[in-house]
């Protein structure tokens, strides 16, 4: 039975405890009861929620699909200039580097230093590349992690690992875990919302993504991400069909409820009540979602923060603004997907365009959250699915090169939600090839994100195929406490 039924009068408190004893995690119970319910549960006495005080109430994840190069963004390696064009063939053989099908046939692996300059920014003096000038302005808000690593070398499995904790299909996504664990703070909107931001470069090498990255896997479907669309209705079929005004929809729904209530009286199936509630939620969303999507109330200075692009529907900056609006309205987790970061060739041209797409939007988002007093309890995470190679894929010239996939190290950043800004965590070797200090696996990232939201990753579980499933899986994962203030 759908957990929403617990709201129903037909369900007794004792049944609720039985149900919880047979499957749902403790944290999930809070979600079932919602914000108000949490209070109610505390008063139930014998139930203790094993969670600690959360630093963040909500999170936003900026997914740069295709994997941005760390070497041109945050992992500054000035010494590489001296080794320009050095063939790394023997080095790679020694390191046992796994090569993708795209470079395994290459005769030479010439070392390619970044074509872009780096500067130190803020009081922290964080090195950030000239491709991200707006990031430079907020260096002291960011915690850059240079020592991320992953297990996968191709996009599909790597994105799945990043978003669901496993390369295997069918697992629950990060956002659905949040939704399951923390529930919604606004009964008019879903707890987990996905936005697809458009990339502008026609040359961008674009990866396909599918709902498995934001799906609920084995978790009940109500926890899966609801993707707001950038074309047509933001929610499918949200708008009433032409010629059906709201007042008529209301009277149609009144009649529908009335008839459904008669069915319920006759057969007493609690699913009928759930369905009635969902029609009412749909009706409320018809009002709340267009209101959400209507940016006309935004101030001009807000647009200025996010940049001119933020007025273009579906752009990254516009999505970032939309994300803030969602969070503001009580959505727990927003994930923005921006594709086109796979620079196997023409990196200088294409990476520049990709960075331009997102740079000011990210800045605007952080500043906007800060101005509204939301940054302190909103966790922001930024990054791709793996790193890129220090050697050039294809020919290396003074002005052009490409980079292949590199799972051994890459850079991400986090901000807000209790994270200590203005710090750089972890270090890589002189080639940005291996991690030399404080490695952070995807699992650790997941554990840390959950921690920020007040969840012990061991305890957020769901029983499926005989196992207590976790976002962090069965291998050990650690919370990186140093990231927090």
Partner 1 sequence: MDPYVNTANAASEETIVLPEIVSFNEHIQPILSEYCYHCHGPDSGTRYPKKEPLRLDIEDEAFKIRDFGSPVIIRGKPEESEIIKLMHSESKGEVMPPPESHKVMQPREIALVEKWITQGAEYEGHWSYEPIVQSDALENDWSNKPIDGFVHEKLAEVGLTPNEPQDPRRFHRRLSFDLTGLPPEPATTDAFVEAYAKDSEAAISAEADQMLASMGSAEHFTRHWLDAARYADTHGIHIDNYRAIWPYRDWVIRAFKANMPWDQFTTEQIAGDLLPKPSLDQEIATGFLRCLATTGEGGAIPEEYAALYAADRVDTIGAVWLGLTASCASCHDHKFDPFSTKEFYQLTAFFRNNTMTPLDRNDANHPPSIFAPIPEDRDAWNNLLVKIKDTETHIETRKQEAHPDFQTWLASSKQTDRQETDSTLALHLPMTAEKGKLTGTVEGNQQQWPTEPERMDGPLGKAVVVTGSEISLGNIANFEREDQVTYGGFIWFEKNANGSILSKLDPEQNLRGWDLALEDGKLVSHVIDSWDKSANKLVRHRRLNAGEWHHVMITFDGTRSGHQAMSFFLNGKSAGARTYPNTVGGNIVSDTPLLLGSRVNGDNQLNAKVALQDFRFYRRILSEKEISRIANLQKIQNWATLPASERDEKQNKELFDYFVTSIDPPSIELMQNLDKLKKEEKTLRDRGSMTLVFEEKKDSKPSAHILIRGDYTSKGEEVFPETPAMLPPMPENASKDRHGLAMWLNDPKNPLPARVTMNRLWYYFFGTGIVETNGDFGIMGARPSHPKLLDWLASEFIDSGWDFRHMAKTIVMSDAYRQAGKITPEKLEKDTHNRLISRGPRTRLDAEQIRDLALASSNLLSEKVGGAPVKPYQPIGVWSAVAMPQSNTKNYKQDSGEALYRRSLYTFWKRTAAPPTMEILNAPTRETFCVGREQTNTPLQALALMNDPQFIEAGRIMAQTVIKDATGFDQRLDLISLRLLNRKMAADERATVKTTFESAKAYYEEKPEQARRAIEIGEMPVDETLSETELAAWSIIANQIFNLDETVTR
**Which one, 138 or 455, has the nearer CB to partner 1?**
455
Contacts of 315 (CB under 8 A, 6+ apart): 197, 198, 200, 309, 357, 361
Q: Can you tell me the distance from the alpha carbon of 150 to that of 213, in angstroms, rounded to the nearest whole number?
A: 16
| Geometric angle at alpha carbon 384, from 210 and 122, rounded to 5° | 145
**Which one, 269 or 328, has the nearer CB to partner 1?**
269
Contacts of 379 (CB under 8 A, 6+ apart): 55, 56, 58, 59, 60, 414, 415, 416, 417, 418, 419, 449, 452, 453
Residue 385 tokens, joined: 């699915």
Q: How far is the CB of 9 from partner 1 (least distance, A)?
A: 11
**Which one, 17 or 484, has the nearer CB to partner 1?**
17
Task: Kindly give the pairing relationship between strand 118-121 and strand 126-129.
Answer: antiparallel
CB 63 within 8 A of CB 212: no
CB 117 within 8 A of CB 136: no
Q: How far is the CB of 95 from partner 1 (least distance, A)?
A: 14
**Which one, 125 or 221, has the nearer CB to partner 1?**
221
Bridge partners, 195 (sequence order): 228, 336
Give which of 240, 247, 367, 238 is closest to 303, Cα–Cα.
Answer: 367
**Which one, 129 or 207, has the nearer CB to partner 1?**
207
Residue 294 tokens, joined: 């209507």
**Which one, 33 or 375, has the nearer CB to partner 1?**
33
Other Cβ atoms less than 10 A from the Cβ of 435: the count is 19
| H or E stretch covering 324 | helix 316-328
**Which one, 107 or 231, has the nearer CB to partner 1?**
231
Q: Can you tell me the distance from the alpha carbon of 80 to that of 283, in angstroms, rounded to the nearest whole number?
A: 59
Q: How far is the CB of 87 from partner 1 (least distance, A)?
A: 21
Q: How far is the CB of 201 from partner 1 (least distance, A)?
A: 11
CB 475 within 8 A of CB 447: no
- How do the residues of the chain divide into helix, strand and coil, expressed in percent and rounded to 5? 40, 20, 45
**Which one, 100 or 423, has the nearer CB to partner 1?**
100
Exposed e or buried b per residue across 194-212, where buried means at least 16 C-beta atoms within 10 angstroms of its C-beta? bbbbbbebeebbebebeeb
Q: Can you tell me the distance from the alpha carbon of 485 to that of 479, in angstroms, rounded to the nearest whole number?
A: 14
Other Cβ atoms less than 10 A from the Cβ of 449: the count is 24
Q: How far is the CB of 248 from partner 1 (least distance, A)?
A: 5
Alpha carbon distances (Å) from 364 to 122, 137, 306, 325: 17, 11, 4, 13
**Which one, 101 or 373, has the nearer CB to partner 1?**
101
**Which one, 209 or 365, has the nearer CB to partner 1?**
209
**Which one, 312 or 436, has the nearer CB to partner 1?**
312
Bridge partners, 227 (sequence order): 194
């Amino acid at each position: 039975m759908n957990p929403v039924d617990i709201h129903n009068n037909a369900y007794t408190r004792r049944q609720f405890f039985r149900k919880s004893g047979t499957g749902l995690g403790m944290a999930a119970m809070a979600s079932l009861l919602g914000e108000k319910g949490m209070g109610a549960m505390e008063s139930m006495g014998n139930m203790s929620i094993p969670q600690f005080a959360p630093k963040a109430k909500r999170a936003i994840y900026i997914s740069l699909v295709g994997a941005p190069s760390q070497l041109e963004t945050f992992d500054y390696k000035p010494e590489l200039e001296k080794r320009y064009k050095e063939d790394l063939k023997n080095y790679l053989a020694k390191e046992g580097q796994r090569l993708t099908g795209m470079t395994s046939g290459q005769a030479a692996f010439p070392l390619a230093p970044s074509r872009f300059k780096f500067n130190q920014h803020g009081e922290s003096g964080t090195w950030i590349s000239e491709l991200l000038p707006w990031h430079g302005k907020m260096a002291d808000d960011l915690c850059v992690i240079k020592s991320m690593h992953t297990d996968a070398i191709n996009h599909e499995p790597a994105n799945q690992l990043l978003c669901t904790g496993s390369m295997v299909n069918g697992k629950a996504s990060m956002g659905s875990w949040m939704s399951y664990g923390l529930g919604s703070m606004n009964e008019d909107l879903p707890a987990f919302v996905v936005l697809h931001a458009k990339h502008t470069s026609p040359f961008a090498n674009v990866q396909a993504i599918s709902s498995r990255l934001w799906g609920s896997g084995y978790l009940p479907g109500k926890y899966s991400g609801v993707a707001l669309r950038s074309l047509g209705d933001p929610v499918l079929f949200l708008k009433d069909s032409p010629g059906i005004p709201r007042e008529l929809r209301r009277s149609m729904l009144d009649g529908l409820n009335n008839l459904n209530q008669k069915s319920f009286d006759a057969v007493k199936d609690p699913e009928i009540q759930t369905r009635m509630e969902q029609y009412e939620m749909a009706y409320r969303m018809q009002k709340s979602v267009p209101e959400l999507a209507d940016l006309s109330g935004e101030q001009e200075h807000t647009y200025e923060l996010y940049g001119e692009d933020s007025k273009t529907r579906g752009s990254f900056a516009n999505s970032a603004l939309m994300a803030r609006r969602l969070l503001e309205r009580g959505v727990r987790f927003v994930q923005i997907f921006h594709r086109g970061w796979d620079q196997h060739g023409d990196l200088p041209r294409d990476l520049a365009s990709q960075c331009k797409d997102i740079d000011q939007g990210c800045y605007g988002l952080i500043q906007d959250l800060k101005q509204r007093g939301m940054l302190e309890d909103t966790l922001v995470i930024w990054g791709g699915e793996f790193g890129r190679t220090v050697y050039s894929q294809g020919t290396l010239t003074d002005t052009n090169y490409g980079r292949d996939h590199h799972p051994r190290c890459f850079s991400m950043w986090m901000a807000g939600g209790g994270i200590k800004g203005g710090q750089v965590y972890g270090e890589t070797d002189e080639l940005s090839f291996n991690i030399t200090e404080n490695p952070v696996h995807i699992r650790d990232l997941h554990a840390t994100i959950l921690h920020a939201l007040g969840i012990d990753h061991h305890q957020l579980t769901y029983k499926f195929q005989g196992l207590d499933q976790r976002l962090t899986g069965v291998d050990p994962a650690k919370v990186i406490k140093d990231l927090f203030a």
